[in-house]
Amino acid sequence: MLLVREYRAYHDGEWGLPVADDTYLFEKLCLDGFQSGLSWLTILQKRANFRRAFAGFDFHRVARFGDRDVVRLLADPGIVRNAAKITSTINNAHHANDLVQEAGSLAAFFWRFEPDDKSRPEHLNLASLKAMTATPDSTALSRQLKRRGWTFVGPTTVYSFMQSVGIVNDHLEGCFRRDDVEGARAAFRRPQ
């Protein structure tokens, strides 16, 4: 029952709200990479441990992690101990710093890939949502990140990220959060 409450709290208070905070955006993209092949609930349960282990996902600090940090992280039972995903997070931190230099912020770069409303389903129901594991926009963002050296950022992972940080509103028709999130997106000032 605690797990259901944890997941519901995430859905009701966080998922889909538009975000411009670079640290949070980096965290979400990394956690979505860690989630690959696992349930989101597994990652959500370990999120506090991930934050502790990865210096609050401060990508400036994570970029300075070295071999000893990788060994430390592989021994940490509070996180997902996958060497490829751990080294990916460190790698992506280096590239996050480069992306900030290029675009001004991670937020300014990521929000460039917000889809046009006309490309979205007119009515978002479970069937249309299940059909959108990736989109042309998530594929384009994935390609751009990979071109810049990022890893664990495939189109499906990136689409999950876009959903979670409000770049798209994938609360279903009839979900009590859909209109609230849409209102937050309407009021949100897109980063430049």
Q: pLDDT tier at 4 (50, 70, 90 boundaries)?
A: confident
Report the C-alpha gap between 185 and 17 in whole angstroms. Answer: 7
Residue 34's pLDDT is what? Answer: 97
Fold that domain 2-187 belongs to in CATH:
Endonuclease III; domain 1 (1.10.340)
Neighbouring CB atoms inside 10 A of 31's CB total 24
User: pLDDT digits over 15-66, tens only?
Assistant: 999 999 999 999 999 999 999 999 999 999 999 999 999 999 999 999 999 9
Q: Is the pLDDT of residue 1 over 60?
A: no
Report the C-alpha gap between 156 and 134 in whole angstroms. Answer: 5
Report the C-alpha gap between 11 and 171 in whole angstroms. Answer: 9
User: pLDDT digits over 78-123, tens only?
Assistant: 999 999 999 999 999 999 999 999 999 999 999 999 999 888 888 8
Q: pLDDT tier at 3 (50, 70, 90 boundaries)?
A: low
Give the pLDDT mean for 139-157.
98
Give the pLDDT mean for 64-83.
98
Q: What Rg do the C-alpha atoms of the chain give, in angstroms?
A: 16
* pTM, to two decimals: 0.95
Phi, psi of 12, rounded to the nearest 5 degrees? -75, -30
Report the C-alpha gap between 80 and 67 in whole angstroms. Answer: 17
- Per-domain residue ranges of the chain: 2-187
